[in-house]
Amino acid sequence: MHQPEEFRRGLVAFIGTHREELTPPYSGHGTTDEILAHQRNVQRLLFDHGWMRWGWPAAVGGLGGTPLCRAVLGEELTSRGFVHSAAWSMPEVLAPAVVQFAAPALAAEVMPPLLRGDEQWCQGFSEPDAGSDLGSLRTVARPDGDHWIVNGQKVWTSWAHHSTRCIVLARTEKHEPGARGISAFFVDMDSPGVDVRPLRTMAGVDEFCEMFFDDVRVPSARMLGERGRGWAVTQHILACERGAIFWQRAGWLLHHLGEAARHCPPDRPVAQYRLGNAYADVIALRARSRATQRRVAAGDLAMADSSIDKVLIATADQSTFDAARTALAGVVELDDSDLADRFRKEWLYSRAATIYGGTSEIQRDIIGFRILDLPREA
Amino acid sequence: MDADEQQLLIATLGDLAARHDGDALTDALDRFGWIDLLRNHPSVAVAALFEAQGRSGSWSSALHDVMARQFATTDAAGAAGAVSMPATSVVLPRPGQSVAASMGDDRRVELDGVLLGARPNADSFVAAATDGDGSPYIVRFPRPALSLEPQHGLDPDLAVMRVCARGGGEVVADGSAAASWWTATVAFGRRALCHQLCGVSEAMLDLAHTHAQERRQFGRPIGSFQAVRHRLAEAHVALNGARATAEMVWEAGDEPLASMTAKLVCGRAAAVVAAHAQQVLAGVGFTAEHPYHHGMKRAVVLDKILGSADELALLVGRELVARGDAPRLVEL
């Protein structure tokens, strides 16, 4: 059961007999509450039948097998519109780092509720003055016996207002500049001193938040990885983010391209031309991501190389929803139907594809310096 | 073929394509056993040779062998004895056309197509034709029926011929057999051209990359400026997406949408690389003595063969609309 194709065949058969429970109860884009509530139900169902556990080690409640199973699971769900791609990605962003860097007892305690959908986690990285320049972050943690005291501010934290835990980057070595003095912590969101304020995206969705940490006490056992080596945790998270998550995102894009094609009149060559080009972008992304994932599954996490995948997915994301907007001929701009609501919010969300998870400019710098070995400035 | 054998093959074909060009490369490939290699390991052989031809700026008759192989391996074609390798060349449609010939009401076939690096000793030329109703045929012409005229065009180093005939052809297949032969043959040709476009793109990017490290302005290498660095990074992204697609398409089976999309991806990537490389190379890239323009011209011509990126974008989009679906092509 650990080979991706065998896994996929079994999963597709399962989906065929559980279509009703997997289909969202809402007909438009869904509110954040609706999307996350449905996802919890889907995760519980898939966990109880084992599908959610393949590709994770037994020590954290998994059933073993290749991590490629997780990519296949995400793809089969997003490509049918059963779950929302952005929300589905969050466990996949954070859990691999917990499995890799948390103390074994902690990982064994917190992973099953995450996979079962009982918990939502979030990622406390960016700060008002530390976006692309993440290494300059100013949230600090100072030791206090067997605890750390965290103070600072985070921003753009997706689903923080629905989350029970957060992976927080904080500076623990104040004399070490940049990335070297940072540690990673696994913080309970109900700790005293954590304050969350939702922000509204331009799509009208309350997806991300500001977070404030005011003398938040975190047990030392909640540090992920070694003290001052939080950057390694960050790199691991970003590398994982570019494996299974990109694959399920590509499934989500094909799902929307197919739907846009169904709504496209046959006599609109302008829309067909754009759909063809967007499809080519998604296929190029899939081709590249497929090769990357096989390398990741073989244990080869090449961080710089995955910047290529990141630029490809941002391009494919935006061209998909641009083409869909053309094919839907005025629906996104003028209509108030469920179809319009979904494509409008997705099109608006896609504007951020070249920004979130490391901007396309940062990716091009990484490719330029680390792959093409171009000289540094000055 | 194991990984070591594959590396050896890539190195050997790369060396042949770098040292020989045109008919001399065709001869060298024949001596090497290219036809047997193509029969036994098509994906490895085509990827290795066409990448190498792209990088070196050389050409051979291999595109005919790749496309004729597809005819020859079809059962019906074998039974009809229609195609023998390597004596058969495939007449390509002129850019913008889907077939090279048309059949009149009197069943006479008029041919007006393109030959790209035909074998000098080829004695059999096959082309796809349609009649007034759009029904497909495969037609074989003996050499005496053809008039051949060199076309120098934008890339005179590439041996392009315009090939015409007024009658004199023999219909070797029609109906669904003809349609499926031609679809499969075009798909194989497109796969080969994808690899060649990637090779050409890599050569152009290498030239720009070297220049960005050596050329100094304002007291530093121009590659240290973000504006230049980002152009090279974009070109690198386009090339890597294209190459992954060219490799993946071999696993997509008979799905014609796969090779159409791959040629679209690779043709577009070559245009992206060419534009960024030209701007980074600036003045020197505009001279006849710098090798950049050979790659740029080759990329532009190859893009036009068997469907340009622009034409294919429209065809692929039309296909998605007709199907009401955007298929995955391959699974993880």
The pLDDT of residue B79 is: 43
Give whole-number Cα distances, B323 to A259, A286, B15, in Å: 11, 20, 44
Nearest to B326 among A68, A261, A369 (CB): A261
| The CATH classification of domain B82-174, taken from the options 1.10.10.2840, 2.40.110.10, 3.40.50.10490, 1.10.3720.10 | 2.40.110.10
Find the helix or strand (DSSP H, E) in which A239 lies.
Answer: helix A230-241
Q: How far apart are CA A50 and CA A2, in angstroms?
A: 12
Contact A241, A310 (CB under 8 A): no
Contact B279, B215 (CB under 8 A): no
Alpha helices, DSSP H, located in chain B: 3-19, 23-32, 34-40, 42-56, 62-73, 75-80, 175-214, 226-248, 256-285, 292-304, 309-323
CA of B136 to nearest chain A CA: how many angstroms apart? 24
Tokens of B217: 């302005």
Cβ-defined contact of B229 to A266 (cutoff 8 Å): no
Fold of B180-323: Butyryl-CoA Dehydrogenase, subunit A; domain 3 (1.20.140)
Q: How far apart are CA A75 and CA A292, in angstroms?
A: 16
| A164: helix, strand or coil | coil
CB-CB neighbors (< 8 A) of A269 in chain B: 314, 318
CB-CB neighbors (< 8 A) of B225 in chain A: 377
CB-CB neighbors (< 8 A) of A280 in chain B: 261, 264-265, 268, 313, 316
The amino acid occupying position A256 is H
Cβ-defined contact of B220 to A79 (cutoff 8 Å): no
Chain B CA closest to residue A268: B318
Give whole-number Cα distances, A242 to A94, A100, A165, A191, A305, in Å: 12, 16, 22, 31, 10
Contact A344, B191 (CB under 8 A): no
State the pLDDT confidence band at B202, using cuts at 50, 70 and 90.
very high
Max Cα distance, chain A (Å): 72
Would you tell me which residues 90-129 of chain A have a C-beta closer than 8 angstroms to some C-beta of chain B? none
Number of neighbours of residue A188 by Cβ within 10 angstroms: 15
Chain A CA closest to residue B211: A374
Domain positions in chain B are: 3-64, 82-174, 180-323
Q: How far apart are CA B59 and CA B70, in angstroms?
A: 20
CA of A272 to nearest chain B CA: how many angstroms apart? 4
Query: What is the set of domains in chain A, with CATH numbers?
Result: 4-118 (1.10.540), 122-229 (2.40.110.10), 242-371 (1.20.140.10)
Nearest to B332 among A247, A288, A312 (CB): A247
Chain B CA closest to residue A369: B229
> What is the torsional sign of CA A74, A87, A20, A204?
negative
State the pLDDT confidence band at B84, using cuts at 50, 70 and 90.
low
Alpha helices, DSSP H, located in A49-178: 68-78, 85-101, 104-116
Flag residues of chain A having pLDDT under 50. none
**Is it the case that residue B148 has pLDDT exceeding 80?**
yes
> Which residues neighbour A30 within 8 Å (Cβ) at sequence distance 6 or greater?
A24, A38, A84
Q: How far apart are CA B190 and CA A125, in angstroms?
A: 45
The complex's ipTM? Answer: 0.96
**Is it the case that residue B171 has pLDDT exceeding 60?**
yes
Q: How far apart are CA B196 and CA B183, in angstroms?
A: 20
Give whole-number Cα distances, B296 to A30, B229, B285, in Å: 49, 20, 10
Q: How far apart are CA B255 and CA B312, in angstroms?
A: 15
Q: State the pairing for strand pair A223-224/B101-103.
A: unpaired
Q: State the pairing for strand pair B124-131/B109-116.
A: unpaired
Contact A159, A147 (CB under 8 A): no
Give whole-number Cα distances, B81 to B27, B108, B111, in Å: 25, 22, 22
**Is it the case that residue B74 has pLDDT exceeding 60?**
no
Nearest to A374 among B223, B269, B326 (CB): B223
Contact A364/B at CB under 8 A: yes
Closest to B226 measured CA to CA, from A239, A242, A234, A359:
A359
Would you tell me which residues 189-248 of chain A have a C-beta closer than 8 angstroms to some C-beta of chain B? 247
Contact A325, A342 (CB under 8 A): no
**Which of A309, A374, A376, A377 should be substituted to probe chain B, the one whose Cβ sees the most B Cβ atoms within 10 Å?**
A374
Cβ-defined contact of A372 to B236 (cutoff 8 Å): yes
Cβ-defined contact of A308 to B247 (cutoff 8 Å): no
β partners of residue A155: A210
| B103: helix, strand or coil | strand
Contact A7, A1 (CB under 8 A): yes
Nearest to B313 among A68, A280, A367 (CB): A280
Contact A100, A111 (CB under 8 A): no
Q: How far apart are CA B241 and CA A288, in angstroms?
A: 6
Contact A332, A340 (CB under 8 A): yes
Closest to B280 measured CA to CA, from B239, B222, B330, B241:
B222
Helix A244-263 to helix A230-241 angle, to the nearest 10 degrees? 30
Cβ-defined contact of A288 to B244 (cutoff 8 Å): yes
For B230-286, the pLDDT digits (tens) are 999 999 999 999 999 999 999 998 899 999 999 999 999 999 999 999 999 999 999
For B7-21, the pLDDT digits (tens) are 999 999 999 999 999
Active-site residues of A: which are they? Answer: 241
CB-CB neighbors (< 8 A) of B332 in chain A: 4, 8, 68, 71-72, 75, 247, 290, 293
Cβ-defined contact of A258 to B230 (cutoff 8 Å): no
Contact A279/B at CB under 8 A: yes
DSSP class per residue in B136-171: EEEEEEEGGG-EEEEE--S-TTS-EEEEEEES--EE
Number of neighbours of residue B23 by Cβ within 10 angstroms: 17
Nearest to B321 among A264, A283, A378 (CB): A264
**Is it the case that residue B76 has pLDDT exceeding 60?**
no
Closest to A60 measured CA to CA, from A103, A90, A2:
A103
Which regions of chain A does DSSP assign to beta strands (E)? 121-124, 140-144, 147-158, 165-171, 182-188, 194-198, 208-219, 223-224
